[in-house]
Chains A and B, each alone.
Chain A
Amino acid sequence: MRGPSPARRILTGFGIAVVLIYALFPFYWMLSTAVDPHADARGAGLLPSGFTLDHFHRVLVEADFLQYVKVSLLVALGTVVASGAIALLAAVAVARFRFRFRSVVLIMVLVVQMVPLEALVIPLFLQAKSLNMLNSLLGLVIVYLAFSLPFAIWNLRGFVAAVPKELEEAAYVDGASWWRMFRSVLLPLVAPGLVATSVFSFITAWNEFIFALTFMTDSSKYPVGVGLRTFFTTNTAEWGAVMAASTIIALPVVVFFVLVQRNLASGLTAGAVKG
Chain B
Amino acid sequence: MSTAPSTAAPSVRRPSRAARLRRALPPWLLLAPALITLGVLLLWPMIRVADLSLQKFRLRHLLRGEREYIVLENYQKILTDDHLWLTVLPNTIGFAAVCVAATMLVGTVVALFLNTLSTPWRIICTTAIMVAWAVPALTGTYIFVWLFDPHSGFVAGVLEWLGLLEADTVNWWNNRWAFYGIAALNVVYHGFPFIAVTILAGLMTVPKELYEAARVDGAGAWRRFASVTVPTMRPIFAVCLILSTIWDFKVFTQIYLMPGGDGSNRSVMNLGVWSYTEAAGQGHYGMGAAIAVLLTALLLVISVVYLRTLLKEDDL
Q: Are B272 and A23 neighbours in the complex by a CB distance under 8 Å?
A: no
Interface residues as binary, A212-224 with B (CB distance below 8 Å gives 1, 0 otherwise): 0010000000000
Q: How far is the CB of A239 from chain B (nearest CB, A)?
A: 6
In the bound assembly, the distance between CA atoms of A85 and B134 in angstroms comes to 24
Query: Any chain B CB within 8 A of the CB of A173?
Result: no
Residues of B within 8 Å of A102, CB to CB, are: 27
What bracket does the count of chain B residues touching chain A fall in? 35 or more
Query: Any chain B CB within 8 A of the CB of A242?
Result: yes
Among listed A37-45, A59-67, A161-169, A189-197, interface-contacting one: A37-45
Q: Are A27 and B135 neighbours in the complex by a CB distance under 8 Å?
A: yes
Q: How far is the CB of A2 from chain B (nearest CB, A)?
A: 12
In the bound assembly, the distance between CA atoms of A207 and B40 in angstroms comes to 23
Q: Are A44 and B49 neighbours in the complex by a CB distance under 8 Å?
A: no
Q: In residues 14-45 of chain A, which contact B (Cβ within 8 Å)?
A: 15-16, 19-20, 22-24, 26-27, 29-30, 33, 40-45
Query: Any chain A CB within 8 A of the CB of B131?
Result: yes
Q: In residues 16-35 of chain B, which contact A (Cβ within 8 Å)?
A: 24, 26-28, 30-31, 33-35
Q: How far is the CB of A35 from chain B (nearest CB, A)?
A: 14
In the bound assembly, the distance between CA atoms of A178 and B132 in angstroms comes to 43
Q: How far is the CB of B201 from chain A (nearest CB, A)?
A: 9
Q: Are A254 and B52 neighbours in the complex by a CB distance under 8 Å?
A: no
Given contacts A93-B28, A120-B46, contact A19 B113 (CB under 8 A): yes
Residues of B within 8 Å of A29, CB to CB, are: 143, 146-147, 154
Q: Are B276 and A246 neighbours in the complex by a CB distance under 8 Å?
A: no
- CB within 8 Å: A-B pair count: 245
Q: Are A43 and B157 neighbours in the complex by a CB distance under 8 Å?
A: yes
**Contact of B303 (CB < 8 Å), options: A15, A24, A114, A258:** A114
Q: Are B27 and A99 neighbours in the complex by a CB distance under 8 Å?
A: yes
Q: How far is the CB of A89 from chain B (nearest CB, A)?
A: 4
Given contacts A44-B157, A210-B252, contact A249 B41 (CB under 8 A): no
Query: Any chain A CB within 8 A of the CB of B12?
Result: no
Q: How far is the CB of B123 from chain A (nearest CB, A)?
A: 9
Interface residues as binary, A140-160 with B (CB distance below 8 Å gives 1, 0 otherwise): 001101100110010000000
Q: Are A122 and B128 neighbours in the complex by a CB distance under 8 Å?
A: no
Chain A minimum-CB-distance residue to B114:
A19
Residues of A within 8 Å of B139, CB to CB, are: 30, 228, 246, 249-250
Query: Any chain B CB within 8 A of the CB of A132?
Result: no
9 A-B residue pairs with CB within 8 Å: A15-B113, A23-B193, A43-B154, A93-B30, A105-B31, A116-B295, A149-B38, A207-B138, A243-B146
Known: A92-B30, A116-B299; 10 extra A-B contacts, CB below 8 A, are A24-B128, A33-B146, A100-B24, A119-B275, A119-B293, A125-B280, A149-B37, A207-B137, A209-B137, A243-B142
Q: Could you list which residues of chain A lie within 8 angstroms of chain B, going by C-beta atoms?
A: 12, 15-16, 19-20, 22-24, 26-27, 29-30, 33, 40-45, 85-87, 89-90, 92-94, 96-97, 99-100, 102, 105, 108-109, 112, 114-127, 129-130, 142-143, 145-146, 149-150, 153, 178, 203, 206-207, 209-210, 214, 225, 228, 237, 239, 242-243, 246, 249-250, 253-254, 256-258, 261
4 cross-chain pairs, A with B, having the tightest CB-CB distances, nearest first: A44-B157, A43-B157, A146-B41, A257-B134
